[in-house]
Chains A and B, each alone.
Chain A
Amino acid sequence: MLGDYTLQNVVMGALLLGAISGVLGSFAMLRRQSLLGDTLSHAALPGVCLGFIMAGSREMGSLMAGALGTGAVAALMVVLLTRYSRLKTDAALGIVLSTSFALGVVLLTFIQGMNNAAQGGLNAFLFGQAAATLRSDLLLMAGITALALILVLGLWKEFKLICFDPGFARAQGLPVLLLEVVLTVMIALAVVVGLQMVGVVLMAAMVIAPAVAARQWSPRLEVMVPLAALFGMAAGVSGALISTLGRGLATGPLIIICVSGFVLVSLLLAPRRGLLWEAAFRLRQRRRLRQQQLLTRLYRQASWHGEPRRGSGRKLADDDCDPRTRRVVRQLEQRGLVGCHDRHWMLTAEGHEAAARILAQLEGRAT
């Protein structure tokens, strides 16, 4: 199956797209500019159409140049709108996104009205047409990806600093604006890589999703970025392979579904940050605190009575018949910290020690 020429192309394209969008998406996400990818990809559509009109054919180079051009204009518009109007970034991104997408769709229908035979498949750029990927396209995509990776490796610490603390970066003498422009242009380039594979509409997910998933698993940028690339590439390959299972299954959307699956699993299960993980952790924590609280209460009552280990058991059993307390007592009994003696609950020797330890710890924190 992997010997199939088209499939080879698709898989290689998906790998390249996964790598570049995972890496650059990480930086975009950390700068709170996840939606920049969305805006740039929608802004690529009028560029693709303009490139087609000028070249008169579906030649990859001119389409991509057009996409880059309108992407740059869109990015510039966002910067100008946020700086000189009272709009916030999200509103500026939204306005530029919808305007340029509308413009792109108008141009697309205009081209379809031209009755140019070469226009065939131009609207494939909306949702991508991975199977149409040529070796020459791959070469271009590989070149762009390599350039992006080299830049990120070379400017790693600068990119890290402008994402974390741009003010401090400027005080250190870094050309923050230039570095931000470089990052933005590279995201526009990544969009160009993704046009053929997943199309302008779904490209945003390729920029955001691998980064979001990777952030869940690692608290270090040095791990998160390669992991995002890995997620992107894995999703790309899985999507490509799944699309071979049925006739005419679209590769691009399948890639996005795969990467969304990664996000879902990561959001739920990742240690420390995952929702389920956190819920389980909190449950365990609460149970432990309840046990500790009861232990120290028994300890205090015991010393009140002047008997080292005796708690006021009858109280626990009868008055405090709150089922939660009884459950906690039973848990403590199972752990051997509390024993039932003559209808009285008493701390065992271990329980006594454990309670003393807990109190000592609490006091140690206060000093």
Chain B
Amino acid sequence: MSNRLHEPGLALHVEDLTVSYHGKPVLWDIDFDIPPGVMAAIVGPNGAGKSTLIKSVLGLIPPMAGHVTLFGRPYRAQRKRVGYVPQRSSVDWDFPTTALDVVTMGLYGQLGWLRWPGRRERRRAMEALAMVGMQDFAGRQISQLSGGQQQRVFLARALVQQADIYLLDEPMAGVDATTERAIVELLQRLRDEGRTVIVVHHDLQTVRCWFDWLLMLNVRVVAQGPVEQVWTAENLRRTYGGQIALLDGDTSITAPAGPAARASGAS
């Protein structure tokens, strides 16, 4: 790959991305861009390929075709600028380790071979734990934490990397309303610092008040752009198909309002 930058003005640029699993397309010819400094949600029904998309961006799943650049360079060259929060259910929480230790793992990639984490790493991990309000649980064995606390530990592990782009896979799954709000406020603070936050999200109720950028996905890209422009009944119907009955109760969606009318509603 040449050293030339490809779309350096975009935090994330995905072109022609196609991913298949067992001969079935999971993502089909995906094109999308996310500008820097936004908080973006990726929404779509189950099996739409949301997690697969995140994993392909991180190079965890080899694509059949297409390419991904972050700030103009492939992921391999930008690893240190990307923070990743996997789904909480992807690991065994009975693993013999403490909350502080898990957060320190976020620094392993920067530490380099043969080096053990020392006082400096532990201090940074403590700071990250404090940011998510978990400093009192640093020495706690991770299986003794509640679901919301585990999620916050995972978040702290990404925060400690001090990345420019954060990719989060369903960080709000299975946490209570208080924790959810705390996580959102933290993510919004990151965005206000100029970082880019990309979240796989499953709760349509909250999309409009929390996010400012939206990608609607169902194997293919249905719509993308600023939330107030993309959030239309038509787009939702095209993304979720028959499941739209679930949304009909929300009058603001069915109401035939133009993008401008809703722009004032978005925070």
Instruction: Identify the A interface with B (CB < 8 A).
Output: 30, 32, 154-158, 160-161, 163-165, 167-174, 215, 218-221, 224
Min CB distance A83 to B, Å, is 12
8 Å CB contact of A171 from B84, B95, B98 = B84
* Contact across chains for B86 and A172 when beta carbons are under 8 A apart: no
Tell me which residues across on chain B come within 8 A of A32, comparing CB atoms.
Answer: 92
Of the A-B pairs whose beta carbons lie under 8 Å apart in the complex, a sample of 21, sorted by A's number, is: A157-B108, A158-B113, A160-B97, A160-B105, A161-B105, A165-B90, A165-B91, A168-B86, A168-B157, A169-B108, A171-B79, A171-B84, A172-B108, A173-B79, A174-B108, A174-B109, A215-B96, A219-B96, A219-B97, A220-B98, A220-B141
* Contact across chains for A168 and B105 when beta carbons are under 8 A apart: yes
Q: How far is the CA of A163 from the CA of B143 in the complex (A)?
A: 16
Tell me which residues across on chain A come within 8 A of B91, comparing CB atoms.
Answer: 164-165
Min CB distance B57 to A, Å, is 10
* Contact across chains for A170 and B60 when beta carbons are under 8 A apart: yes
8 Å CB contact of A167 from B86, B114, B117 = B86
What residue in chain A is nearest B91 (Cβ atoms)? A165
Q: How far is the CA of A170 from the CA of B59 in the complex (A)?
A: 8
With A157-B111, A168-B105, A173-B109 as contacts: A163 and B95 at CB distance below 8 Å: yes
Q: In the complex, how many residues of chain B place their beta carbon closer than 8 angstroms to a beta carbon of chain A?
A: 29
Min CB distance A320 to B, Å, is 36
* Contact across chains for A220 and B60 when beta carbons are under 8 A apart: no
Known pairs A167-B55, A170-B58 / 16 extra A-B pairs, C-beta < 8 Å:
A154-B114, A157-B105, A157-B116, A157-B117, A160-B97, A160-B105, A164-B95, A164-B105, A167-B60, A167-B86, A168-B84, A168-B157, A171-B84, A219-B98, A220-B101, A221-B97
Min CB distance B165 to A, Å, is 12
* Contact across chains for A30 and B114 when beta carbons are under 8 A apart: no
With A168-B105, A219-B141 as contacts: A30 and B59 at CB distance below 8 Å: no
Q: How far is the CA of A165 from the CA of B97 in the complex (A)?
A: 12
Encode B185-199 as 1/0 by CB contact (under 8 A) with A. Answer: 000000000000000
Min CB distance A303 to B, Å, is 31
* Contact across chains for A164 and B97 when beta carbons are under 8 A apart: yes
What residue in chain A is nearest B117 (Cβ atoms)? A157
Tell me which residues across on chain A come within 8 A of B117, comparing CB atoms.
Answer: 157
With A156-B116, A172-B108, A173-B79 as contacts: A167 and B90 at CB distance below 8 Å: yes
Tell me which residues across on chain A come within 8 A of B55, comparing CB atoms.
Answer: 167
* Contact across chains for B60 and A171 when beta carbons are under 8 A apart: yes
Contacts between the two chains (Cβ within 8 Å), count: 73
Min CB distance A172 to B, Å, is 3
* Contact across chains for A220 and B109 when beta carbons are under 8 A apart: no
Tell me which residues across on chain A come within 8 A of B98, comparing CB atoms.
Answer: 219-220
What residue in chain B is nearest A170 (Cβ atoms)? B60
Q: How far is the CA of A164 from the CA of B99 in the complex (A)?
A: 13
Min CB distance A89 to B, Å, is 15
Encode B229-261 as 1/0 by CB contact (under 8 A) with A. Answer: 000000000000000000000000000000000
Min CB distance B123 to A, Å, is 17
What residue in chain A is nearest B85 (Cβ atoms)? A168
Tell me which residues across on chain B come within 8 A of A220, comparing CB atoms.
Answer: 96-98, 101, 141
8 Å CB contact of B86 from A165, A218, A221, A224 = A165
What residue in chain A is nearest B111 (Cβ atoms)? A157
Q: How far is the CA of A157 from the CA of B96 in the complex (A)?
A: 13
Q: How far is the CA of A164 from the CA of B82 in the complex (A)?
A: 20
Min CB distance B62 to A, Å, is 12
Within 8 A of A (CB), among B41-88: 55, 58-60, 76, 79, 82, 84, 86
Within 8 A of A (CB), among B150-178: 157
Min CB distance B208 to A, Å, is 30
Q: How far is the CA of A248 from the CA of B153 in the complex (A)?
A: 56
Tell me which residues across on chain B come within 8 A of A156, comparing CB atoms.
Answer: 116
Min CB distance B161 to A, Å, is 9
Q: How far is the CA of A163 from the CA of B86 in the complex (A)?
A: 15
Of the listed residues B86, B91, B96, the one surrounded by the most CB atoms of chain A closer than 10 A to its CB is B96
Q: How far is the CA of A220 from the CA of B113 in the complex (A)?
A: 22
* Contact across chains for B79 and A172 when beta carbons are under 8 A apart: yes
Q: How far is the CA of A160 from the CA of B58 in the complex (A)?
A: 21
* Contact across chains for B96 and A221 when beta carbons are under 8 A apart: yes
Q: How far is the CA of A219 from the CA of B111 in the complex (A)?
A: 24
Tell me which residues across on chain A come within 8 A of B102, comparing CB atoms.
Answer: 164
Q: How far is the CA of A163 from the CA of B113 in the complex (A)?
A: 17
Min CB distance B186 to A, Å, is 19
Min CB distance A283 to B, Å, is 21
Min CB distance A189 to B, Å, is 21
Tell me which residues across on chain A come within 8 A of B101, comparing CB atoms.
Answer: 220
- Closest 3 CB pairs between A and B? A172-B109, A219-B141, A171-B58
Tell me which residues across on chain A come within 8 A of B116, comparing CB atoms.
Answer: 156-157
Min CB distance A288 to B, Å, is 19
Min CB distance B69 to A, Å, is 16
Of the listed residues A154, A161, A164, the one surrounded by the most CB atoms of chain B closer than 10 A to its CB is A164
Q: How far is the CA of A173 from the CA of B105 in the complex (A)?
A: 13
